[in-house]
Amino acid sequence: MVKDAERYITRCFDLARMGAGSVSPNPMVGAVLVHDNQIIGEGYHQKYGAAHAEVNALASVSASNRALIPAATLYVSLEPCCIFGKTPPCTNLIIQEKIPRVVISCLDLTPEVKGGGVELLRKHGIEVITGVLEKQGQALAATRNVSVSQQRPYVILKMAITRNGFLLH
């Protein structure tokens, strides 16, 4: 079970990275819907203001596999949102589609969400597992999480240059 969860969460990370450069200030997120160890849907957040990863994963499920959704597990690289923004909350769609189990890499540190998505899903009887490859998930969401939790930009490079263009180290 653990190895399967890690494999699907790793796929979520791969999908999430496909949104790099297009989703800011939102985080990069990937989602995979699995039934009996078969991926039946997958998606990622493709563009700021557009559908989130969970929505795209559910939309990608073929008509012949739609009946499998209430018996599937949703894997997500970041906690599903539970607030209205440019799009409706992903938690509402998960509840509406009767997905019984959600596996999450790490929590969304946005103050309005932080743990709220997990709490809402559990309140509706959905089994939620968090912390699968959590450090990798946090690294993937670092730019967003630092911005919303510490109100500062995520700095990955700081350098000094002399007046004549030489780098200092």
Domain at 75, CATH number? 3.40.140.10
The model carries a pTM of 0.88
Residue in 6, 42, 54, 134 annotated catalytic: 54
**Which H or E run contains 104?**
strand 101-106
**74-101: burial string, b at 16+ Cβ within 10 Å, e else:** bbbbbbbbbeeeebebbbebbbebebee
Give the chain's domain count: 1
What is the pLDDT averaged over residues 26-43? 97
Region 25-39: what's the mean pLDDT? 96
Confidence category of residue 129, pLDDT binned at 50, 70, 90: very high
CA distance 84 to 109: 16
What CA–CA distance (Å, rounded) separates 163 from 169? 15
Q: How far apart are the first and last CA of the chain?
A: 47
pLDDT, position 152: 67
Q: Is the pLDDT of residue 72 over 90?
A: yes
How far is it, in rounded angstroms, from Cα 68 to Cα 50?
26
Rg of the chain on CA atoms, in Å: 17
Comparing 23 with 159, which gets the higher pLDDT?
Answer: 23
Q: How far apart are CA 52 and CA 59, in angstroms?
A: 11
Domain holding 103, by residue range, is: 2-168
Residue scoring higher pLDDT (42 or 161): 42
User: Are the C-beta atoms of residues 138 and 108 closer than 8 Å to each other?
Assistant: no
**In Å, how far from its chain's centre is CA 18?**
12
Q: What is the pLDDT of residue 169?
A: 62
The pLDDT assigned to 78 comes to 97
pLDDT of residue 145: 67
Count the neighbouring beta carbons within 10 Å of the beta carbon of residue 145: 22
| Band of pLDDT at residue 149, cut at 50, 70 and 90 | low
Please confirm, yes or no, whether 42 is among the known catalytic residues.
no
